[in-house]
A and B are shown apart, each in its own frame.
Chain A
Amino acid sequence: MEIKYTIQGLLIYAAIATYLSAFITTFLRRERVGNFLYLLGFIAAVLAFIYRWYDVRHVPLQNLFEVFLCLGMISYAVSWFCRYTLRAGGYSGDVLIAAIMLVPAGFVFSAEPQRLPPALQSWLFVPHVAVYALSYIFMAKAAFQAIFQLAGRNHKNEEPRLKAGAKPVLSRVEGYLAPRSTWGLPAEEATYRMICIGFPLLTLGLILGSCWGKLAWGDYWGWDPKELWSLASWLVYLGYFHFRYMFGKKYARINSLWAIAGMVFILITLFWVNLSNLFSGLHSYAT
């Protein structure tokens, strides 16, 4: 465990604290305050990310500290997108996910600035990691919904209460600070929608990584442990789509199990492969 007594660290801790406060206040049905705190936490996370960017002089996506900082920041935007575009909420879960994402950056990984090694000096570096980070958030939210589905609680997805006759865009902005009514989108359907958004990103991340591997290492597929785990993650979601195509919602619980398994594989790709000596390979610099 590493406590960071720096401006960077303080910003991360402030973001975690406000995210957790947002979660508690939402849980206590003080949703207006919860929304406001969630926004504050996001601002603190953005400031921490910008500070890091200025400090290391390159887009901070090089190591796990920077990736988790990014995940903690973008989860707010993903949450916003899911609520207002996909109509699939799980709002309180989103706030908790955002807080959890920042914990490794705040307490586990070192914030020692590092120069980019030659292999990372590529235009593909940022899109490859950023696309993966985005897909991971969508898949985490999908897994969260799937757990709700498995637990037998058809998680109610929330939508902001709109004033009658208000224009949609204006209403959406107002919706941030407005208390929310609940409306039912089944957790299985919400899981599917999120995976539909996350899967093309996962595919793009895999392909961008492959193109980058060809440029840097001479091969578009090196059979590196991290590559194989990321392929396995992609295949789990591919299996999910085929299974859902075959049976629809007949075996909704098995659909949810696929979604959870996909997230487990993503976590292994992200953590275990980077941290464990068991899987040393070309991606080991990302620890």
Chain B
Amino acid sequence: MTEGRLTNKFRRGVLWVALSLILLLIFLSIYGAFLGAERAKNFFNSLPLAVYWTALTALLIVGVVMFHRLVRVPALLLIHVGCILILAGSICGSQAGHKLQKKLFGIDKIPTGQMLIYQGEQENRVVLDGAKQIGELPFYVRLTDFRVEYYKPDYLQIQSGQGKNWRIPVEIGREIPLGEDVGTIKVVRQFESFKIKVEDGKNVPFDDPNSAPNPALEVEIRSPDGKAATRYVFERFPGHTRPEDKLRLRYQRIISDYVSELQILRNNEVVAEKDIEVNRPLYFGGYHFYQHSYDADAGKYTVLMVVSDTGLNLVYAGYLMLCTGALWHFWLKHLYGAVTLRHVNGD
């Protein structure tokens, strides 16, 4: 009897601690939100927080052992074990987890970092996150091509001195009326890499496929009195106008995707290849490769984010268990109850 009372008291204590840890995590999350992502990441990976995560994991394990209800009700067990797996997977995947893995099992993996690769070149060096060190992958990654894709059509934005605005799709040769007081506008030519050369003392614009991208439009503006003027609108230099211009023009292209065509090489042989995009990373040798950044000026290189998969399967298994448990406990159980009740009532 006394032992039972003691156990109940202990269980009550565990619940109070659980509630306190939940409340503490709520306050920590709010505090972290004010820090911004980068500082919050450091904060939640700091030593005091490592103690918190360990305590939370230990409490969940104690809860599963102490509360028979959690074992008797499979859905609740799934929820709690799911949380344990998520926390365990996160701990394994952290920098400290990688260090421990190296110490215990001799597995040396780069937790996370970035690699810069020029078009046509191969690379295996990774700049590690959080440390000014270089790590090396056991294979090479080659960038065969990098490109930025755009939605069609492109747009020309026009603003008159009176504050009127137009946004028209770029269509070569089509004359668009802008009202009696402004006149008409027509896109004459489109450039991918705008350049100027001097011929017979005149400036002549041309498209140079060998130079860095400089998208531009040649636009003809015809005023109501019939006078025509040619202007060049540059995507990268918005607001490029002359003092006498009555219209402010802006060339707008909307990015639809970034694509890096990658090959994985081992002993100079291609063992895998994939065109990676945002939302479509490459997975090879225990690492995920993500499109992270690129050479915005010349489009000659790409920056990949390299992330180790250590602990990831544990996290995903935890997610699956947590979701299944929550849906089972809160929905299916009641649905099943309602159906059996209806059956008993003879409906």
Contacts and interface: CB of A to CB of B under 8 A. Distances in A.
Interface of A: 115-119, 121-122, 168, 196-197, 199-200, 203-204, 207, 210-212, 214-225, 228-229, 231-232, 235-236, 238-239, 242-243, 245-246, 273, 278-282
Given A279-B33, A281-B36, A207 B322 contact: yes
B47 interface: no
Contacts of A216: 278-279
Interface of B: 12, 15-16, 18-19, 22-23, 25-26, 29-30, 32-34, 36-37, 40-41, 44, 90, 112, 151, 254-258, 277-281, 288, 290, 292, 305, 307, 312, 315-316, 319, 322-323, 326-327, 330-331, 334, 347
Contact of A228 (B19, B29, B255, B331): B29
A246 B331 contact: no
A138 to B, nearest CB: 11
A236 B326 CA distance: 16
Contacts of B16: 246
A243 B19 contact: yes
A280 B44 CA distance: 18
13 contacts: A115-B254, A118-B255, A118-B278, A200-B330, A215-B281, A218-B281, A218-B290, A222-B37, A235-B25, A235-B26, A242-B18, A242-B22, A281-B36
B323 A204 contact: yes
Contacts of B36: 225, 279-281
B323 to A, nearest CB: 6
Contacts of B334: 196
Contacts of A215: 279-281
A238 B83 CA distance: 12
Contacts of A239: 19, 22-23, 26
Main secondary structure of the interface of A (DSSP, over half): helix
A219 B15 contact: no
Nearest to B41: A223
A282 to B, nearest CB: 7
Nearest to A122: B279
